[in-house]
Structure 1
Amino acid sequence: MSDPITTRHDRTHWLYLAVIVAVIGGILVGWLAPDVGQSFAPLGTIFVNLIKMMIAPVIFCTIVLGIGSVRAAATVGKVGGLAIGYFLIMSTIALGIGIVVGNLLQPGTGLNLTKVKAGHDLADKAHSAGGTWDFIQGIVPTTLLSSLTAGNVLQALFVALLVGFAVQAMGRTGEPVLRAVAIIQKLVFRILAMILWLAPIGAFGAIANVVGTTGLDAVVKLATLMAAFYLTCLVFVFGVLGMLLWAVSRVSILKLVRYLAREYLLIVATSSSESALPRLIAKMDHLGVERTTVGVVVPTGYSFNLDGTAIYLTMASIFIADAMGKPLSLGEQVGLLLFMIIASKGAAGVTGAGLATLAGGLQSHRPELLDGVGLIVGIDRFMSEARALTNFSGNAVATVLIGTWTKTINVDQVKDVLDRKLPFDERTMVDDDHGTPPPPRQPETKNLVSA
């Protein structure tokens, strides 16, 4: 009987192929007919505007639910507190690595895309902004709802923090609010998923315009960014996480990756680490980590431990700023890092949420760079797989580390499982549809016949 994991099909494969075709088409049009390529610029701008439209709802929902998950994790005590502290530290390290690599390589430097710029309204707002007090005053919206409609990301973030802590203080009576926000988040992400089906059109327009403006040099720069991002993720997983895992738990990162090979294939197929969430819980339990620890660390990590997304956000931000000839100062990079630490929570698991978070970070710090998001629309789909794989690896490593620190892990079982002496029973976990009940068991006679 065929393996349901390998035969599972996903409609996003067609989106993947469409983006590839659109990027190639945009390169050819921009190269062979530069004037025509530049005329397609509005397609990229429209797509960026659609993404911008979703920034405030995405930020609001993810922050409110993120604070709610902290409250839930804290009730478990030591495991929850340790997990949150570890996630924040590792996310900060990942963001820092992204900044360092982005500044060292500077893949966007030299493009000078002066024609690829934001609308005059955004640029005027950026240049006419007052001093520190005006900036602080602008964070407070006139009403709660205006923070979600005015297009000011910092206002949306401010209100989301207020709502999140208010719901947290309400205790059990606030749980219906969290459930309502969770439903709204599903709606928001469903709309975002619909918008992403327009990514091929946006990618075509943006790439055609960029290549028409700068020539094939833009293609080389984008390829450099993508290669640097993949290499950085590999170094982070096998270097930083690998050394930490060995130092604390004496577990080989290579053996752990081999143990999770099927999950990695599933993530590559869907470009989302969330698709492997149920299987990661089952496999960490089988590995020897106590269920109470797994039940806290893995779900919380999917909102707070976004190492791949963190690296992507900083590298992409630096690339866009350099490519548009408006590099970020060190102070702006640190400010952006602090914003991303908060805003990136909850971006994992949903394809396209990272793109919306990137747009939100740029809009909050340098609005004139927002249209530069169109520069990386064409390669964002390819980078999303590395983001998802890195996020997933980070959560798997975190589960083992926290299990070790809290002494809720069976060391002997870990060794037997990773040495393949105690194989994982795939028949107990073949479904990855989030809580969907397994299909009814077939009568024994049919199984014998099919065998």
Structure 2
Amino acid sequence: MLHPVAAPGAPVVRRPFYRSLYFMVLLAIVAGGAIGHFFPEFGESLKPLGDGFIKLVKMIIAPVIFLTIVTGIAGMRDLKQIGRVAAKAFAYFFFFSTLALIIGLIIANVVQPGRGLNIDPATLNAGAVAQYASAAHETTIVGFLTSIIPDTLFSAFVEGNILQVLFVSILFGIAMAIIGDAAAPVQRAFESLSQIVFKLVAILMKAAPIGAFGAFAFTIGAYGLGTIANLAALIATFYLTSLIFIFGILGLVAWANGFSIFRLVAYLKEELLLVLGTSSSEAALPSLMQKMERAGAAKSVVGLVVPTGYSFNLDGTNIYMTMAALFIAQAMNIDLSLQDQILLLLVAMLSSKGAAGITGAGFITLAATLAVVPSVPIAGMALILGIDRFMSECRALTNFIGNAVATLVVARWEGQLDREAMNLALGSKPKALAAPPDPAAGPGDKDAITID
């Protein structure tokens, strides 16, 4: 939907920066951090504000995914194209998820953030991580695959399982595409409903500063800034590695596909602050889908890539897994051979998929990985339990940016990226690509563009 464009020469009215969501969320994070630091008990008591906001957003995620995917696929009408988009998305996810694991492994070997701590394994509190070890033990690839299928057509929406909603939505969209013109009235109804749902998202986002304030006040109040200082080397190494991955690896990918990673990050600044404040990338999922459509990616591509990427394209989580495993080994003076590290990498590749979509997946997948690699005791996770909240923020931010890049790249591969809309949204000048998309593949979904 296009907003009316101002007449030539008419003044452009911009909202003052202090009234923007970006500024208000940033202010809320600073205020929450101050409250948590100086009044820790009061800060901890504000946890319900953050939890309540995340629940508000999760409430709307299932309808957003369902309506976006169903209307996108029904409008596509080409089942081969649907399969092609899915295949390209999973190829992208597999390659960069594996690359993230390798980068985490390499930098942990070079920097060695755990070296010199000399932790005695006998002094560790294994009970502190027992619940994560139990969850990891119950998570298997087969169990994960069967859990994608909901008990009933509607239970996926009741339970809010993203992968189950994705599964039902794809089947429903394919059925509508096969029926064709007879399903047109339903498609129009869903498109109208989509406008209502996204307006509801905009209303809920007004509460984002309150959620960020409560969540960040709780984090600082409960864990304190002193916790960061104790394991500063690991935190600094992880954050630096994530920055290298985002602006180095993903930056090159973005450049090769005709857009700037810096402009993309600036375009998503409100969502990134929301993810930082709440430590949850799910809090910004509906807004990400809306902004990717606004940036020129076809609705059908956005509907398939973004929700799937939230479970399978976890770059930040993968960097964390191999880095944290090596940190634990280094802290306890355990020398891992090349064979051990290769085993660690292979196991992490599988376990990261097995726990996809599970709350707290970063810590659970680490437990699942260490459970299979006998050289590193799983009790060593107690060393990083206290800073996991601070690590989860970086994991969520990296995962979020990775999925935004993946969406634009897959859309471009499919010829379903409106370059003009992308340049307008990102505020960048048009750039000719060495290998432009095939026009026969179809234009982007221009109806999904919104010009603010």
Indicate the percent of aligned positions where both proteins have the same amino acid.
41
- The reply to whether residue 275 of structure 1 matches residue 294 of structure 2 is no
Instruction: Tell me the distance in 2 between the aligned counterparts of 1:256 and 1:300.
Output: 20
Q: Which residue of 2 aligns with 1:246?
A: 255
CA contact (8 A) 2:21 2:270 kept: no
CA contact (8 A) 1:303 1:346 kept: no
Q: CA RMSD in A?
A: 4.5
- The reply to whether residue 87 of structure 1 matches residue 128 of structure 2 is no
Give the AA of the match of 1:233.
S
SS in 1 for 2:274: helix
CA contact (8 A) 1:273 1:391 kept: yes
In structure 1, which of residues 210, 225, 229 is the aligned counterpart of residue 234 of structure 2?
A: 225
Q: Which residue of 1 aligns with 2:103?
A: 97
The CA deviation at 1:353 is 3.0
In structure 2, which of residues 328, 332, 339 is the aligned counterpart of residue 331 of structure 1?
A: 339
Instruction: Tell me the distance in 2 between the aligned counterparts of 1:180 and 1:293.
Output: 25
Cα gap change, 1:111/1:361 in structure 2, threshold over 3 Å: closer, same or farther? Answer: same
Instruction: Tell me the distance in 1 between the aligned counterparts of 2:294 and 2:249.
Output: 25
CA contact (8 A) 1:318 1:327 kept: no
The CA deviation at 1:389 is 1.1
- The reply to whether residue 17 of structure 1 matches residue 26 of structure 2 is no
The CA deviation at 1:296 is 0.6
Instruction: Tell me the distance in 1 between the aligned counterparts of 2:35 and 2:313.
Output: 26
The CA deviation at 1:256 is 1.1
CA contact (8 A) 1:91 1:310 kept: yes
Instruction: Tell me the distance in 1 between the aligned counterparts of 2:384 and 2:352.
Output: 18
CA contact (8 A) 1:82 1:402 kept: yes
Q: Which residue of 1 aligns with 2:437?
A: none
After superposing the two structures, state which structure 1 stretch, 350-359 or 272-281, moved more: 350-359
Instruction: Tell me the distance in 2 between the aligned counterparts of 1:107 and 1:150.
Output: 24
Cα gap change, 1:94/1:119 in structure 2, threshold over 3 Å: closer, same or farther? Answer: same
Instruction: Tell me the distance in 1 between the aligned counterparts of 2:32 and 2:221.
Output: 16
Instruction: Tell me the distance in 1 between the aligned counterparts of 2:404 and 2:301.
Output: 12
Deviation string, structure 1 residues 227-250 (Cα, Å, up to 9, x no partner): 111111111111101111111x11
Deviation string, structure 1 residues 359-402 (Cα, Å, up to 9, x no partner): 22222323862222121122222222211111111011111111
Cα gap change, 1:92/1:184 in structure 2, threshold over 3 Å: closer, same or farther? Answer: closer
CA contact (8 A) 2:124 2:382 kept: no
Deviation string, structure 1 residues 48-84 (Cα, Å, up to 9, x no partner): xxxxxxxxxxxxxxxxxxxxx9xx9999211011101
- The reply to whether residue 108 of structure 1 matches residue 125 of structure 2 is no
- The reply to whether residue 377 of structure 1 matches residue 385 of structure 2 is yes
- The alignment of Structure 1 onto Structure 2 pairs a total of residues equal to 325
Cα gap change, 1:85/1:120 in structure 2, threshold over 3 Å: closer, same or farther? Answer: closer
CA contact (8 A) 1:274 1:348 kept: no
After superposing the two structures, state which structure 1 stretch, 94-103 or 149-158, moved more: 149-158
SS in 2 for 1:107: coil
CA contact (8 A) 2:305 2:406 kept: yes
SS in 2 for 1:77: helix
TM-score by length of 1: 0.60
CA contact (8 A) 1:274 1:349 kept: no
Q: Which residue of 2 aligns with 1:235?
A: 244
CA contact (8 A) 1:106 1:322 kept: yes
SS in 2 for 1:289: coil
Give the AA of the match of 2:119.
L
Deviation string, structure 1 residues 390-446 (Cα, Å, up to 9, x no partner): 11110111111111111001112212222279xxxxxx899xxxxxxxxxxxxxxxx
Q: Which residue of 1 aligns with 2:366?
A: 358
CA contact (8 A) 1:153 1:364 kept: no
Instruction: Tell me the distance in 2 between the aligned counterparts of 1:288 and 1:321.
Output: 45
SS in 2 for 1:344: helix
Runs (5+) with no aligned partner, structure 1: 23-68, 122-147, 187-196, 208-217, 422-427, 431-451
Instruction: Tell me the distance in 2 between the aligned counterparts of 1:395 and 1:293.
Output: 12
CA contact (8 A) 1:113 1:323 kept: yes
CA contact (8 A) 1:18 1:200 kept: yes
